[in-house]
């Protein structure tokens, strides 16, 4: 039962816009007062999204970075990053290189104090 409750606590809902989203790996939850850091890979994505949530009213600070390439880094590639702040839920939609065959997504997020955050990345 404890394992089930722990798994439910890590659930992060897909972003509200767009069609069917596929979660890239497991959601990540920080320890109280710590940040989450994770890295995911998406194969041939059309769209990317990052969702970070916290039950606290403290501001959540999210930094995401993406690197997308077409066939290899010797061909076409794009790199983007952004820092966002919000409360309860922060959603970002990083740009995706048209025709990308591979994208890397990195996320760092935290809410400070003794707050915890849960985060996940998604693709379509």
What whole-number distance in Å separates Cα of residue 91 and Cα of residue 59?
Answer: 13
* pLDDT score at 1: 38
Class level of CATH domain 2-123: mainly beta
**pTM score above 0.85:** yes
Strand ranges (DSSP E) for the chain?
A: 22-23, 28-29, 36-43, 48-53, 60-69, 77-86, 89-92, 102-110, 118-123
pLDDT tens-digit profile of 93-109? 999 999 999 999 999 99
Q: pLDDT tens digit string along 80-97?
A: 999 999 999 999 999 999
Q: How far apart are CA 65 and CA 91, in angstroms?
A: 14
What sign does the dihedral 108-36-33-93 (CA atoms) show?
positive
Cα 89 to Cα 53: distance, rounded to the nearest angstrom? 4
Name the residue ranges covered by the structural domains of the chain: 2-123
């Amino acid at each position: 039962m404890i394992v089930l409750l722990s798994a439910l606590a890590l659930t992060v809902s897909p972003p509200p816009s767009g069609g069917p989203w596929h979660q890239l790996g497991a959601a990540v939850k920080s320890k109280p007062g710590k940040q989450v850091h994770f890295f995911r890979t998406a194969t041939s994505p059309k769209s990317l999204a990052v969702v970070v949530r916290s039950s606290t009213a403290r501001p959540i600070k999210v930094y995401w970075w993406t690197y997308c390439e077409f066939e290899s880094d010797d061909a076409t590639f794009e790199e983007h990053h952004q820092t966002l702040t919000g409360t309860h839920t922060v959603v970002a939609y990083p740009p995706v290189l048209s025709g990308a065959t591979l994208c890397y997504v990195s996320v760092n997020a935290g809410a400070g104090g003794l707050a915890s955050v849960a985060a996940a990345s998604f693709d379509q």
